[in-house]
Amino acid sequence: MSTEDVGDDLLETVDDEEEEEAMTAPEVLHKLEEAWLNEKFSPDLLPVKSNLVECMLDQIVAMENNISTLKKGDFRISVHRMEIDRIRYVISSYLRHRLAKIESLTTHVLQEEEKRRDSENVLMSPAELEFAKGYCNSVMTHLTNTALDHMPLKAATPNAKEIAVLPNLDSYVFLKVNENTENVLVEEETVDAREEIMDFEKGDQHIMRYKPIASLVESGGVSLI
CA dihedral 159, 164, 169, 173 (to 10 degrees): 180
Among 89, 130, 156, 179, binds another protein (CB under 8 A): 89
How many C-beta neighbours within 10 Å does residue 168 have?
12
Options 115-123, 124-132, 150-158, 185-193: segment touching another protein (CB under 8 A)? 185-193
Collapsing DSSP to helix, strand or coil, 198 comes out as strand
Among 13, 51, 78, 215, binds another protein (CB under 8 A): 78
The nearest distance, CB 221 to another protein, in angstroms, is 16
Options 10-18, 111-119, 139-147, 158-166: segment touching another protein (CB under 8 A)? 158-166
The nearest distance, CB 97 to another protein, in angstroms, is 11
Helix (H) or strand (E) holding 200: strand 196-200
The nearest distance, CB 18 to another protein, in angstroms, is 21
How many C-beta neighbours within 10 Å does residue 130 have?
11
DSSP state of 150: G
Among 152, 182, 190, 194, binds another protein (CB under 8 A): 190
The nearest distance, CB 128 to another protein, in angstroms, is 19
Q: Does 86 bind another protein (CB under 8 A)?
A: yes
Among 18, 130, 196, 199, binds another protein (CB under 8 A): 196
What x-and-dash track marks residues 15-34 binding another protein by CB under 8 A? Answer: ----------xx--x---x-
> In whole angstroms, what is the distance from residue 148 CA to residue 157 CA?
8
> In whole angstroms, what is the distance from residue 138 CA to residue 142 CA?
6
Q: Does 43 bind another protein (CB under 8 A)?
A: yes
Phi (first) and psi of residue 210, to 5 degrees: -70, -40
> In whole angstroms, what is the distance from residue 148 CA to residue 160 CA?
14
Q: Does 174 bind another protein (CB under 8 A)?
A: yes
Among 59, 125, 144, 178, binds another protein (CB under 8 A): 59
Q: Does 105 bind another protein (CB under 8 A)?
A: yes
Q: CA of 135: how far to CAs of 129, 146, 207, in Å? A: 10, 16, 34
The answer to whether residues 157 and 101 touch, using CB atoms and an 8 Å cutoff, is no
Q: Does 75 bind another protein (CB under 8 A)?
A: yes
